[in-house]
Structure 1
Amino acid sequence: MAEAITATEPTRRDFLYLATAAVGAVGVGATVWPLISQMSPDASTLAAGTLEVDIAGVPVGQIMTVKWRGKPIFISHRTPVEIKTAEDTPLNELKDPATDQSRVQKPEWLVVIGICTHLGCVPLGHEGPYHGWFCPCHGSVYDTSGRIRQGPAPANLVVPPYRFAAETKLVIG
C-alpha cells in the first residue's frame, strides 16, 4: 500500500526560525548600508566631475583654456583652414594614427586635455610647424587636431569626455 503524504502544520519553532532570520537580515542590511554609502563620492566631488563652459565668446582661430579636475583643457575654435589641414593629413604620417573626425564632435571645435603625453608638461598653442601645440620642455609637436607629429611624446593629446548641451554650451565630464 502506498503511504499517504501528510503535510505538517507549521510550529511555533518554525515561526521563530523565520523571524530570527528576518531580523538578522535587517540587521546585516542596516550595518552594511552605511559602509557602502560612505564609499560613494560626496556632492562636491560629483560637482567637480563636470564643467559647463560657455564657448560663445571664443573667436574663430582662438584657444580657450579652462581647468577641469585640476587639468588644463584646451578648447580650440578652429578655422576652416585648420579643419581642412587636419582632415587631409594622411594617417601614415602620424605616430599615433587617428582621424580628425574621431577626435571632434563638431569640426570647428577641438577639445583636448592640455597635458603633453611625454612627461606631463603643458604645451603652447598655435606653435610649431603644424600650428597646433608645441611642448617647449622636450620638443613634442602636435597638429591642429592634437595629434603627435614630432618629438618624444608617444600619443596624441587626450580627448576628455564632453558633449554640447547647446550650440554655445559645452559640458566636460
Structure 2
Amino acid sequence: MSDHAGTEAVLPEGEGVRRRDFINIAAVSAAGVGGVITLLPLISQMAPSADVLAESSTEIDISAIQPGQAIKAVFRKQPVFVRNLTPKEISEAEAVDVSSLRDPQTLKERTKAGKENWLITMGVCTHLGCVPLGAGEGEVKGEFGGYFCPCHGSVYDTAARIRKGPAPKNLQVPEYAFTTDTVVKIG
C-alpha cells in the first residue's frame, strides 16, 4: 500500500503550471488595462485644443494687394506680412551682393518660383520679437525700403533681409503655398 493513497489528489501532468500561467496572464492584462485607462486622460489632455488646431493654417485673399503694398495678417497668433513687390523692389533686392548680408539669402530663396513678387514673412523682428513697421500705409520702412523695427533699430530691405541693427537673422518665411492665383495658404 502506498504512503500517499487517499491523502493527495493527483493532477494531470502540467495542469498546475497552466493554471498559474493563466492567473499571471490575467493579472498582467488587468494591470495593463488599468494603466491604459489611467494614462489615457493624461495623454489626451496634451492634445492641441480646437482653437489651436483652427489656427494651424491661415488662408489669405491677396487679390486686393496692389504692387508696392503690404498687409498684416495673423498666423498662429503672430503677425504675418504679405507684400506685393514692385519690379523696382525686386530688381533692388536682386542687385544686393548676397555675400555682404549677415544672413545671406537671395530673393528667389525667400519667394516661390513664378510668384517672386509675393514676399510672405512673419512680422516678428528676429532680435527681441517686436513687430517691425513698413507693412501699413504710411509706416516707416527704413533706409532700405523694407521694414524698420522701432524697438532697437533693426532695418530690413525689400526682401525682408536684415541689413542694419541688432537683429541676427532675416524675417522668417513661414511654410506657405498658393492654392489659387489669388489665395495663399500659410501653414
Q: Same fold by TM-score, threshold 0.5 exceeded? A: yes
Question: What is the aligned partner in structure 2 of residue 134 from structure 1?
Answer: 148
Q: Which has the larger radius of gyration?
A: 2
Runs of 4 or more off by more than 3 Å in structure 1? 7-10
Shift of 1:43: 1.0
In the alignment, does 2:160 pair up with 1:146?
yes
- Sort the Cα spacing of 1:13 and 1:96 in 2 relative to 1 into closer, same or farther, 3 A: same
Is residue 2:126 matched to residue 1:117? yes
Query: Quick one: distance in 2 between partners of 1:107 and 1:19?
Result: 65
Corresponding residue for 2:3?
none
Displacement of 1:128 in angstroms is 2.5
C-alpha RMSD of matched pairs (Å)? 2.0
Q: Does 1:28 align with 2:35?
A: yes
Q: Which residue of 2 aligns with 1:70?
A: 77
Q: Supply the distance in 2 between the matched residues of 1:85 and 1:69 (Cα, whole angstroms).
A: 31
Q: CA deviation at 1:49?
A: 2.3
The separation in 2 between residues aligned to 1:44 and 1:22, in whole angstroms, is 37
Deviations along 1:45-93, whole A, 9 cap, x unmatched?
1112221111111112210111223322110011122222222321122
Q: Residues 130-160 of structure 1: CA distance to partner in whole angstroms, max 9, x if unpaired?
A: 2111223433221111001122322211212
The unaligned stretches of length 5 or more in structure 1 are 1-6
Instruction: Tell me the CA shift for residue 99 of structure 1.
Output: 1.6
Figure out how many residues of one structure are paired with residues of the other and give that number: 167
Amino acid at match of 1:122: V
Q: Distance between the aligned counterparts of 1:92 and 1:11, measured in 2?
A: 75
* Cα distance in 1 between the residues matched to 2:164 and 2:149: 10
- Give structure 2 stretches of 5+ with no counterpart: 1-12, 135-139
Displacement of 1:8 after TM fit? 4.1
- Report the counterpart of residue 4 of structure 1 in structure 2: none
With 7-16 and 153-162 compared, the bigger mean Cα shift is at 7-16
Task: Return the TM-score normalized by structure 2.
Answer: 0.79
Kindly indicate whether residue 179 of structure 2 is the aligned counterpart of residue 165 of structure 1. Answer: yes
Question: What letter matches 2:161 in structure 1?
Answer: R
Structure 1 distance, partners of 2:18, 2:165, is 81
Q: Residues 11-34 of structure 1: CA distance to partner in whole angstroms, max 9, x if unpaired?
A: 222222222222221121111111
Q: 2:111 aligns with which of 81, 104, 109?
A: 104
Partner-residue secondary structure (3-state), 1:127: coil
Say whether 1:87 aligns with 2:101.
no
